[in-house]
Amino acid sequence: MKVKIESNEFIIDFTDRNESKLTPIYSVKIIKKNFIFNDYKTFPRNKINIYGNKVTLRYLSCTCNEYMSNELLYPSRDIRRICKHIFIALSKTCMEKMGSLESNILNHIFWYKLSNVFQIEIERQRLLIGYGFDYEIFYVYPFNKPETYFTYNCSLNIWKDNVRPFDKELLNISLSTFLRRTSFFLKKYSPTKKIYKKKI
């Protein structure tokens, strides 16, 4: 299996000859390379002042510099646009209106410093995969179990607390192989390595 990144897109090649000798291995298909929050029409349209910045929850927008520079790079409601002010505003008023999968991801953007989340499919099961700026720890969120998530450490090659996403071990092996390859290529080729700013 080969993984490479071209213009911020993952390209996975499962046809590698050496790898195919290790069959059966399940293929992983990347469905979306980012994650967009639902468009919650009930979120308030009024501007909320958070540390001098104005947040509009209806559009998940903010007037801070961080938001405005990310606004130029990413589509509307993409998680990479969510700044700490939007997070604070959501936590105060709207977090309980979001689904468990979205609120987990939102919390992890800040507490686990996720830099992106993308969507994959393996054996007809959809999963979201989140990773931080170190491309080392990956978080796996299954659509069919939205209240739960799994943590994989690529350098130690272990699932946290030995808890794995699938009952079928070959699926876990396929997924962890994919995550390790993705980690390797992200470390090698990722164009922007942002430093997370915790200060408000």
The SS3 assignment for 138 reads strand
Q: Phi and psi at residue 195, in whole multiples of 5°? A: -95, 125
Say if CB 66 and CB 110 are below 8 A apart: no
- 95 vs 122, beta carbon nearer Zn ion: 95
- 85 vs 181, beta carbon nearer Zn ion: 85
Q: Does 85 bind Zn ion (CB under 5 A)?
A: yes
Task: Count residues near Zn ion (CB under 5 A).
Answer: 6
Q: Does 67 bind Zn ion (CB under 5 A)?
A: yes
Q: Does 62 bind Zn ion (CB under 5 A)?
A: yes
Handedness of CA 83, 89, 92, 94 (dihedral sign): negative
Q: How far is the CB of 89 from Zn ion (least distance, A)?
A: 9
- 67 vs 150, beta carbon nearer Zn ion: 67
H helix or E strand, kind and range, residue 185: helix 169-189
Q: How far is the CB of 83 from Zn ion (least distance, A)?
A: 3
Q: How far is the CB of 114 from Zn ion (least distance, A)?
A: 17
Q: How far is the CB of 61 from Zn ion (least distance, A)?
A: 9
Distance CA 163, CA 150 (A): 7
Distance CA 161, CA 184 (A): 23
- Please report, as ranges, the residues that interact with Zn ion according to CB under 5 A: 53, 62, 64, 67, 83, 85
